[in-house]
Amino acid sequence: MGGKRASKSELFLMELIFSILFFSIASAVCVTLFVHARLTSIESTQLTTATLQAQSAAETFKSVNADLDQAADLLNAQQTPEGSLQILYDQNWNPASDPDSASYLLTLTPDDPSPDSNQLCSAQIQVSKQGESIYELTVTQYVR
């Protein structure tokens, strides 16, 4: 009789071990899915905000008739010696003045920094994070 009781408790112990193993594997898969979903959500938020900032810069560029000085004033951007505009943002997409605290960089680079009247002027707008491009946009404006 002692052998039957030991046999039943061994079966119960084996079943318990398999149950724990199954739930461990299932929880590992679930955690992986949640981490992947969170990363996808962060990337989606970055892309959406980068798109909005690039569109805002494009509309500003068009509204000032491709005048970089006026665009820089309206966008609170810094002009570079190469003739482009740069806007720094922190990790919450608030304008940043310190390049060390900036997480994102919007660069507006016109094809011709001082276009003549009655011609098309194009500009490339790029939003990047730590040198990696998030979003790019090309805008064209007929200069009057």
- pLDDT tens for each residue of 77-135: 999 998 899 999 999 999 998 888 899 999 999 987 777 777 888 999 999 998 899 99
> How many other C-beta atoms lie within 10 A of the C-beta of residue 60?
19
Average pLDDT, the chain: 90
Copy the structure tokens of residue 10. 């061994």
Mean pLDDT within 5-22: 87
Question: What confidence score (pLDDT) does residue 27 get?
Answer: 97
User: Does the pLDDT at position 4 exceed 70?
Assistant: no
Question: pLDDT above 90 covers what percent of the chain?
Answer: 70
Crossing angle, helix 2-63 and helix 68-75, to 10 degrees? Answer: 140
DSSP 8-class letter at 84:
-
Question: What confidence score (pLDDT) does residue 1 get?
Answer: 47
